[in-house]
Amino acid sequence: MDASTEILAFVSGLMFLAFVFWALGNWWCLFRALIGKRKGSGLLIIPGLLGAIALLIAPSTNDIARWHSYWWIPLFADVGCVPWLIYYVWFSVKNRHRHEMRFFRHIIAEYVCTRRCGYEFSAVCVSLSPFHIIAAAVATIPLWIVSLCSPLNLSWYFLFGIFAGELLLAFLAGFLSSILMFPFTAVGETYCKNCRSRMVLVGRHFDPLGSKKPHWKDVFIFGVFIILNVALWIDLTTGKLWQ
Ligand SMILES: [Zn+2]
């Protein structure tokens, strides 16, 4: 067994463990929500994706490799993944009149000056919104059509895997963007514009109604998402990026 197989076995094992741990956590959150206890916030989508990827990449030396063909099960076994997405789409459609065309969701972090000079700063953080789900779905369709044809010849149900991959790409775009945008966003969160003393975080709140217009961060993340998809297509058509 060479070193790369050994690393792959270790990584897939670790990812699978993380999936089991977080998926159980999500079930626990759901249970607490159902019995009326405080709503815990689970980790959405990622645990199910980790489980699916772990099963897909596991080398034959790893014990979990014998479940290889059941890679899609974690996507459904984690309540925060496909079950939550189905609930989310259903809930959005049901309430579409109340939130007409509000495609963007933000978490707003409120900062105040430690010297109480009156200066306040609201930092907008982008959160998963219908816009991202629609963008991932739109990006999925051409990839899915290509995957059905030669030379890949995948089965139709890889649609779910490709959609999951596109959602992961949207998360990755958000993560990369937060690093790239850091120099532009950290200033107002750190120092008061009036007296230059430090700012303190007094709370975060989710804006459940959403926003009709994208924040500039939404636009930035969408740009990164498009770049990642272009890279994916270049790799798919030429096979040169990962060699
Ligand atoms: Zn101040």
Question: What pLDDT sits at residue 124?
Answer: 86
Q: Residue 110 C-alpha to ligand 1 middle, in angstroms?
A: 14
Give the start-to-end residue ranges of the domains of the chain. 3-79, 105-238
Residues surrounding ion ligand 1 at CB below 5 Å: 113, 115, 117, 119, 192, 194-195
CA distance 106 to 214: 9
Mind listing the pLDDT tens digit for each residue in 160-179? Answer: 888 888 998 999 999 999 88
DSSP 149: S
CA distance 149 to 143: 10
Q: What's the predicted TM-score (pTM) here?
A: 0.61
| Residue 98: partners with Cβ closer than 8 Å, 6 or more residues away | none
Reference 82, options 70, 72, 97; nearest CA is 72
Q: Residue 122 C-alpha to ligand 1 middle, in angstroms?
A: 14
When mean pLDDT is compared across 25-34, 97-106, 121-130, the lowest value belongs to 97-106
Q: Residue 107 C-alpha to ligand 1 middle, in angstroms?
A: 23
Mind listing the pLDDT tens digit for each residue in 214-232? Answer: 888 899 999 999 999 998 8
Going through the chain in order, the beta strands assigned E by DSSP cover 105-113, 120-127, 199-206
Q: Residue 182 C-alpha to ligand 1 middle, in angstroms?
A: 22
User: Residue 31: what residue type?
Assistant: F
CA distance 240 to 227: 16
Q: Are 68 and 56 in contact (CB under 8 A)?
A: yes
Phi, psi (deg, nearest 5) at residue 203 = 155, 160
Mind listing the pLDDT tens digit for each residue in 44-88? Answer: 888 998 898 888 888 877 777 777 778 888 988 898 888 888 888
Q: How far is CA 141 from the centre of its chain?
A: 19
